Amino acid sequence: MTMAALMLAVGLFQPAPCDLKDVPADFERKHGVECGWVSVPRDPGQVGTRTLRRWTARIRASGTAEPDPVLYVNGGPGIATVDSVLPALSDSKTLPMLRANRDIILFDQRGSGRSEERMCPDLGKQMAAVADLGLEPAAEDERNRALFVQCRAELDAQGIDLDAYTTRATVADMEVLRQAFGAPQWNLAAVSYGTLVALDAMRTHPASVRSAILNSPFPPNSIAWAEQATSTAEAYRAIGRACSAQPTCARRFGDVETKLAETLARLDRTPLPDGERRITGRLFASALWPVAVQSSLLKYVPLAIDRAHAGDAEAIKGLVRSFASGNAFGENSRAQGLAIACHESGRTRELYARARALYPALVSAAPDDAWDRLCAAYRPGYADPSFFAPVASAIPTLMYAGGLDPAVPVADAYQALRFLDKATVVEVPDAAHAPMGRDDCTRSIAAAFLADPQRAPDLACMATRETMAFALDGLAELYAPPGK
């Protein structure tokens, strides 16, 4: 390809069939979906060098479209966004709100989903196989470290440069996408890790952003991004308090936090066999976390803990089969995710030691430096210190924080708020992660904000909304069939 042709290809949308799985034949036409590729420079800002393709989709507005679309920035990192979000169009209540008068743009971040480059695609399955062995935490971590060392060797042999995988590289890709879709500005709707991307975009490309909705914000100066054991333990304690405040939940389940601690300890002492899998406390905890982190499933957490504590083997097995794969939120590239997380989380040894001192019954007995040793072997070095500085911005911003969120503490939203001149925090006390779509009230606040970001949000409905009641049965509805 000539240099002129190469430069022309960068930043152009090239349509392609969506090829979605498990959707009706007329899905794309019915929902106004267009998929395609956009090429970006592998090295941000260096047009004329090697390019990488980004897999993208546009969901057309259901009404008259405003010129500023919504860019959905997914979390993870590493989740296949397009293939996990598009099928939700049929049942979602949040996506119709976002697309009422604006197109929605989706994209797979570099190294995830269908976007290039494909990085160690079997790594997730290999890690799941290690988890199934029921090893002691230190031994399991060493096995995983060896897998990432092997992955790094494969990437080096393929010429894949991990320095091209950063939050800031994703932000640079977003600017190319904005131009490819002809948007003078857009509105960022970001969730979880994606809020870190959005905040950096607000800092580095403020003229491109009309407004930002940060659904469970991870500001760059947050320590929750580096170490989540503390926020997870604190969330289970908060869930226990919330259960105690509901008489039916309190009578049925009692002390949820103590039951969880006893269950984890029992399974670590005597793993539960499930075919070739041995379910340890650590593996059970890895399955319970995706249930606790989703606001729509949070209501089942006390019930799941109670059944496991009672020794209900089928309940434990069902939960692990359904949620311990690491793909509970969509196909997940472990190699891409760790490349970014290692680079931007910083050292964690002291934080993990503190978490275990505070919550010894709920924090894994892994070595304090397990994460640091893993990153030193796979992606050593950290982002420039300026990346971790708080983001200051006058862009209108709406932030949602869940009071029972095991991934991001409410304090992180206020950490971000301090330097955002036009920001509002919506606390949702009975929700977990990403609570913007929790109910009609939380969605209506976002809809009004998107229509007029300069207007102060009206949060009056938060005082009258119906709060979540913990489930007393129905746990089996969550389970995947054996073998899935």
Residue 481: predicted pLDDT: 54
**Residues 479, 322 contacting (CB under 8 angstroms):** yes
Gap between the Cα atoms of 298 and 469, Å rounded: 10
Domain residue extents for the chain: 3-118+162-224+386-463, 123-160+332-354+364-383, 229-329+469-478
Each residue's pLDDT tens digit in the chain (484 positions)? Answer: 343 334 446 789 999 999 998 888 889 999 999 999 999 998 886 666 789 999 999 999 999 999 999 999 999 899 999 999 999 888 899 999 999 999 999 999 999 999 999 999 999 999 999 999 999 999 999 999 999 999 999 999 999 999 999 999 999 999 999 999 999 999 999 999 999 999 999 999 999 999 999 999 999 999 887 788 999 999 999 999 999 999 999 999 999 999 999 999 999 999 999 999 999 999 999 999 999 999 999 999 999 999 999 999 999 999 999 999 877 787 899 999 999 999 998 889 999 999 999 999 999 888 999 999 999 999 999 999 999 999 999 999 999 999 999 999 999 999 999 999 999 999 999 999 999 999 999 999 999 999 999 999 999 999 999 999 999 999 988 876 554 4
CB count within 10 Å of CB 460 equals 9
Q: Is the peptide bond before 227 cis (omega within 30 degrees of 0)?
A: no
pLDDT at 150: 98
Q: Can you give the length of the chain in residues? A: 484
Say whether 277 sits in a helix, a strand or coil.
strand
pLDDT at 44: 81
The Cα 60–Cα 45 span in angstroms is 29
Amino acid at 177: L
Q: Which positions ≥6 away from 146 have C-beta within 8 Å? A: none
Non-local (6+) Cβ contacts of 288 within 8 A are: 260, 301, 304, 305, 319, 323
Cα four-point dihedral sign 57, 63, 68, 72? negative
Tokens representing 394 are: 């006058």
Q: What is the pLDDT of residue 1?
A: 38
Token look-up 């590493």 returns 78
Beta strand extents in 226-290 (DSSP E only)? 272-274, 277-279
User: Which of 3.40.50.1820, 3.40.50.1370, 3.40.462.20, 3.40.50.300 is the CATH number of 3-118+162-224+386-463?
Assistant: 3.40.50.1820
Alpha helix segments (H runs only) across 403-468: 410-417, 440-451
- ∠ CA 379-326-343 to the nearest 5 degrees? 20
Neighbours of 255 (CB within 10 A): 14
What pLDDT is stored for residue 480 in this prediction? Answer: 60
Whole-number Å distance between alpha carbons of 379 and 387: 17
Record the pTM: 0.94
- pLDDT value at residue 4: 37
Which residue type does 327 have?
N
